[in-house]
């Protein structure tokens, strides 16, 4: 006994010790800092937010909040040809829906604004000129024809295409001549060899030999817009970004960015790259998959918290992470640490999301405030799916009873709107009556008696009481229980299979059950008279 007690105490103490340690670690790291942590999520508005984007936004949010810092949303729309105007609003809106709202953003504004790159062109022009003046960049007059030729030539020689830096050393006289002839030009940045590895917050040291693989990158296009590299670096600096957490596909660009910071005389933020997100089978996620977009999950009744746990359960980032626990957002923030982020690719298993969603639904149903929110949400979904055909005008009390009954049967609210549950909301079509099970006696006679029993007997119309009445009915007509149950299911619900009959009747309630039986009787009698 004493041993059990001491183990128990030890467990409690070690748990609370961990919590105290986490809080202290956070406090100390915050007070030791001279600056506030500022991170950003910087999507290009080329479409709806996908799971990869949500993952980046989420980890930035968790890092910011765990450090009492700021999470910023910036839209990178310098590639105007790929712009999708609706995405400008929807990206911010979906972060709000996911409960990871930014502190500064295009809508909210903030000290580093504006937060849309096309509104910040004067900054990019200014710094591009500075880079030209200090010799870190140069004007390139190569025509697209020449660049295509260079590319094709490299491919023909089975080499990686790269710009040959031809315009790096043009004389001032030559530049003047080309400019007076109005030859279009762009600005390129001189890539210098980097000797030290990139210290990635997630991957550790990463070798960067960018200058060996690539030619000098364009930083300012002839259309007057900067490219991603220049705009991204300038904005991160002007917005005071302290840490850049982004997808690993950008790791290749980071050495270029670090060189740009150097050339501008700025201190670079710290960089961490998040590994690839893959489908469960290890295949790449494609934007052609509908279920890659966050909006798909929103429309299909998934809870934001389930979605966030779905991502963190595969991406890591937490000490002592239990993979089946649905953590609250506060818990996720509290437990987050960059050092626990995984660096191997994350495979997303949709079954995990369903499990989290079911868990969240069950917890919400048990909480009266959340239950009433679910009722409103489900009611709205019903209005959209079944329009005016809601049987007898479904009331909130009924929706709430259905929700409590549905616990453990469904994964999301949306499931309750599926055709397989339509009997809960709409009266069955009379065509179902053709599927009544064959009986040795007339259906009408049995249903008439059933109507009578349910009207005057069966006092409280509970599950047990209705089953008891049905048993006596079976005995009276010499029918076996399975036959009676089939008859009830088909008459009342229009279904061959479904929940236990007693539950179905108790859920629909006496009044509705009687209406459905009378309706079936009126159709069956009409059918009898016409044959």
Minimum CB distance to ligand GLU smaller for 82 or for 366: 82
Give 357-361's long-range contacts (Cβ < 8 A, gap of 24+).
357/301, 357/302, 357/303, 357/306, 357/411, 357/412, 358/408, 358/410, 358/411, 358/412, 359/306, 359/326, 360/303, 360/305, 360/306, 360/326, 361/303, 361/407, 361/410, 361/411, 361/412, 361/413
Query: What residues contact 123, with CB distance under 8 A and at least 6 apart?
Result: 234, 235, 238
Minimum CB distance to ligand GLU smaller for 45 or for 499: 45
CB of 237 to ligand GLU, least distance (A): 13
Q: Which residues, listed in sequence order, are joined to residue 206 by a DSSP beta bridge?
A: 198
CB 17 within 8 Å of CB 27: no
Minimum CB distance to ligand GLU smaller for 208 or for 507: 208
Q: Site residues for ligand GLU, window 387-406 (CB under 6 A)?
A: none
CA-based radius of gyration for the chain: 33
Cα separation of 262 and 186, whole Å? Answer: 21
CB of 114 to ligand GLU, least distance (A): 16
Q: Site residues for ligand GLU, window 404-433 (CB under 6 A)?
A: none
- Give CA separation, 308 vs 56, 61, 283, 313, in Å: 11, 11, 21, 8
Q: Looking at 97, 250, 266, 296, which residue binds ligand GLU (CB under 6 A)? A: 250
CB of 519 to ligand GLU, least distance (A): 57
Q: Which of 70, 56, 71, 80 minimizes the C-alpha distance to 228? A: 80
Q: Looking at 232, 251, 313, 491, which residue binds ligand GLU (CB under 6 A)? A: 232
Question: What interhelical angle do 463-477 and 501-508 show, nearest 10?
Answer: 120
Minimum CB distance to ligand GLU smaller for 59 or for 421: 59
- Give CA separation, 477 vs 455, 457, 525, in Å: 19, 17, 19
Give me 530's structure tokens. 């016409």
Site string for ligand GLU, 121-150 (x = CB under 6 A): ------------------------------
Q: Site residues for ligand GLU, window 194-223 (CB under 6 A)?
A: none
Residue ranges in 387-419 assigned as alpha helix (H): 396-406
CB of 115 to ligand GLU, least distance (A): 13
Minimum CB distance to ligand GLU smaller for 75 or for 137: 75
319 phi and psi, to 5 degrees? -80, 145
Minimum CB distance to ligand GLU smaller for 65 or for 246: 246
Cα separation of 23 and 16, whole Å? Answer: 11
Give me 272's structure tokens. 């961490």
Minimum CB distance to ligand GLU smaller for 237 or for 360: 237
Minimum CB distance to ligand GLU smaller for 44 or for 469: 44
Q: Looking at 50, 120, 188, 246, which residue binds ligand GLU (CB under 6 A)? A: 246
Minimum CB distance to ligand GLU smaller for 274 or for 374: 274
Query: What residues contact 107, with CB distance under 8 A and at least 6 apart?
Result: 92
CB of 130 to ligand GLU, least distance (A): 21
Number of residues engaging ligand GLU in binding (CB under 6 A): 7
Minimum CB distance to ligand GLU smaller for 42 or for 501: 42
CB of 44 to ligand GLU, least distance (A): 4
Q: Site residues for ligand GLU, window 23-82 (CB under 6 A)?
A: 42-44, 76
CB of 43 to ligand GLU, least distance (A): 5
CB 371 within 8 Å of CB 400: yes
CB of 246 to ligand GLU, least distance (A): 4
CB of 376 to ligand GLU, least distance (A): 36
Give me 194's structure tokens. 């980097």
CB of 45 to ligand GLU, least distance (A): 9
Which chain residues interact with ligand GLU by CB under 6 A?
A: 42-44, 76, 232, 246, 250
């Amino acid at each position: 006994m004493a041993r059990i007690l001491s183990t128990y105490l030890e467990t409690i103490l070690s748990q609370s010790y961990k919590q105290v340690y986490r809080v202290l670690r956070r406090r100390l790291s915050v007070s030791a800092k001279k600056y506030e942590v500022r991170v950003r999520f910087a999507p290009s508005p080329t479409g709806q937010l996908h799971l990869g984007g949500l993952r980046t936004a989420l980890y930035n949010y968790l890092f910011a909040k765990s450090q009492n810092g700021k999470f910023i949303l910036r839209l990178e729309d310098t590639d105007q040809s790929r712009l999708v105007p609706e995405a400008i609003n929807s990206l911010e809106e979906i972060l709000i829906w996911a409960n990871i709202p930014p502190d500064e953003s295009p809508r909210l504004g903030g000290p580093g604004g504006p937060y849309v790159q096309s509104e910040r062109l004067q900054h990019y022009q200014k710094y591009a000129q500075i880079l030209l003046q200090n010799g870190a960049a140069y004007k390139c007059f190569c025509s697209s024809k020449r660049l295509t030729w260079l590319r094709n030539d490299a491919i023909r020689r089975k080499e990686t295409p790269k710009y040959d830096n031809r315009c790096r050393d043009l004389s001032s006289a030559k530049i003047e001549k080309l400019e007076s002839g109005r030859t279009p030009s762009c600005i390129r940045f001189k890539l210098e060899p980097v000797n030290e590895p990139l210290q990635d917050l997630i991957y550790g040291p990463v070798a960067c030999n960018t200058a060996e693989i690539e030619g000098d990158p364009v930083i300012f296009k002839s259309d007057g817009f900067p490219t991603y590299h220049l705009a991204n670096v300038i904005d991160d600096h002007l917005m005071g970004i302290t840490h850049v957490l982004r997808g690993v596909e950008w790791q290749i660009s980071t050495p270029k960015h670090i060189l740009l910071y150097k050339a501008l005389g700025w201190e670079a933020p710290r960089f961490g790259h998040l590994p690839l997100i893959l489908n469960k089978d290890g295949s790449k996620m494609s934007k052609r998959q509908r279920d890659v977009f966050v909006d798909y999950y929103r429309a299909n009744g998934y809870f934001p918290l389930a979605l966030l746990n779905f991502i963190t359960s595969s991406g890591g980032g937490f000490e002592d992470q239990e993979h089946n626990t649905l953590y609250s957002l506060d818990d996720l923030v509290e437990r987050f640490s960059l050092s626990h982020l995984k660096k191997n690719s994350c495979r997303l298993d949709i079954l995990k999301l369903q499990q989290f969603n079911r868990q969240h639904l069950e917890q919400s149903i048990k909480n009266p405030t959340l239950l009433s929110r679910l009722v409103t949400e489900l009611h709205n979904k019903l209005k959209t799916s079944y329009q005016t055909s809601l049987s007898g005008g479904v009331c909130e009390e009924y929706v709430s009873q259905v929700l409590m009954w549905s616990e453990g049967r469904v994964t999301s609210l949306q499931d309750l709107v599926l055709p397989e549950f339509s009997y809960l909301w709409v009266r069955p079509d009379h065509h179902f009556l053709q599927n009544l099970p064959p009986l040795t006696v007339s259906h009408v006679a049995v249903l008439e008696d059933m109507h009578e029993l349910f009207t005057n007997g069966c006092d409280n119309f509970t599950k047990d009481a209705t089953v008891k009445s049905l048993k006596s009915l079976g005995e009276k007509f010499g029918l076996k229980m399975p036959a009676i149950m089939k008859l009830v299911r088909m008459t009342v619900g229009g279904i061959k299979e479904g929940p236990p009959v007693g539950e179905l009747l108790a859920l629909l309630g006496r009044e509705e059950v009687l209406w459905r039986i009378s309706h079936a009787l009126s159709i069956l009698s009409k059918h009898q008279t016409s044959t």
